[in-house]
Homo-oligomer: A and B are copies of this chain.
């Protein structure tokens, strides 16, 4: 799965499933992801304590509707899973429109769109519908039915590992708890899958761990179950809203100057983009960057969280995401990984004056010209900053050279025995 079109096809395939933070919709999603990349599946029982939280009952839903006196379904879960408030308790009742109304959610400003609402931790029920539908409902008696279950079960998540040359890890995390919403976050899932496939085609330096988890409770569960090995996580990106037509936005980690921040800012520097400061709201960077962990994890989106009117509405459908935008997001991530994987600190083994590059065939023999070649400049820069304090991205930024040239210079110098990692 390499092209934007292929990623878009995955978005379309995942779109109809009714996901939530638990339940069979999540499992079906992980099944489909597993068709592309092998997934380690985890099922964490209801009631498990994860830090300050408890894994909630598992929610499943088979049917839900509001029908009028004639039995006609005026709101129907079968048409869109957005119509039911996520985690709604079961309901089977007849009530007047007046009684029903507090349970109905609309977007008055966007009268033809259905909003997305949930109530995970407070028992409640409700329906989401367009303002137009609501306005057209006559007074009268309605049959209200939600055929859902909230019962002991499991929270499900999947992990995919691309093994690297070292055990140090980069995590790429996506939430898989949103139902029929395409940019948030099916596009993120599709780009993550493609990135995993691309990385596996090489032999990356870092071990890359892809996490497909429900938002908040999933990330907290993963962190609670992986505390003992969290020090392996050196860098990470939370990926969401990866397919809309807006410019890319990188939101810095809490640290603000973590290596992942510097890498993504460098990759984005040549494109239209935005850099956002960390805030403890948004996606699961909230958890990775909580003060007890404070990991070097940022978030890459196109238009960020809540920054587009279609956010959390029925208008965030597959048409809202573009194959080209997903391909662009993927390209930036691949470039970032390629830099991250090569971004080391070197020590100059000949630090007193410059070593004689010429006798090693690394320097032009004809002197006097004013056009010092980029490769030679890159070697001089690496040698000069190979003091153990500067990594190759520092050298790149300070020299104004290309990272590739700097990295190639470091390799040539290492091969010549002039620097060591």
Interface-centre pick from A306, A348, A354, A387 (highest chain B CB count, 10 A):
A354
6 pairs, CB–CB < 8 Å, chain A vs chain B: A52-B350, A280-B354, A291-B384, A291-B387, A292-B352, A312-B370
Binding stretch for chain B, among A90-98, A136-144, A355-363: A355-363
Q: Which residues 306-348 of A have a CB within 8 angstroms of B?
A: 306, 311-312, 348
Tell me whether A348 and B292 are in contact (CB under 8 A): yes
Which stretch (A23-31, A110-118, A162-170) binds chain B? Answer: A110-118
A399 CB within 8 Å of chain B: yes
Instruction: Identify A52's interface contact among B280, B355, B368, CB under 8 A.
Output: B355
Please state if A351 and B291 are interface contacts (CB–CB under 8 Å). Answer: yes
Query: What secondary structure prevails in chain A residues at the interface with B?
Result: loop
Contact (Cβ within 8 A) B115 A290: no
What's the nearest-Cβ distance from chain B to residue A197, in Å?
30
Does the CB pair B280–A383 fall under 8 Å?
Answer: yes
A361, chain B: closest CB distance, angstroms = 10
- The answer to whether the Cβ of A71 comes within 8 Å of any Cβ in the partner chain is no
A392 CB-CB contact with B under 8 Å: no
Residue of B nearest to A357 (CB): B52
Q: Which residues of B contact A367 (CB under 8 A)?
A: 86, 117-120
A227 to B352, CA, bound (A): 9
Known: A51-B350, A370-B306. A281 touches B377 (CB 8 A): yes
A355 to B51 CA separation, bound complex (whole angstroms): 8
Contact A223 B353 (CB under 8 A): yes
Please name all residues of chain B whose beta carbon is closer than 8 Å to the beta carbon of A372 when the two chains form the complex: 281
Do residues B286 and A121 form an inter-chain contact, with CB atoms below 8 A?
Answer: no
Given A279-B381, A351-B292, does the pair A356, B121 have CB atoms closer than 8 Å?
yes
Cβ contact of A220, chosen from B119, B281, B305, B354, cutoff 8 A: B354
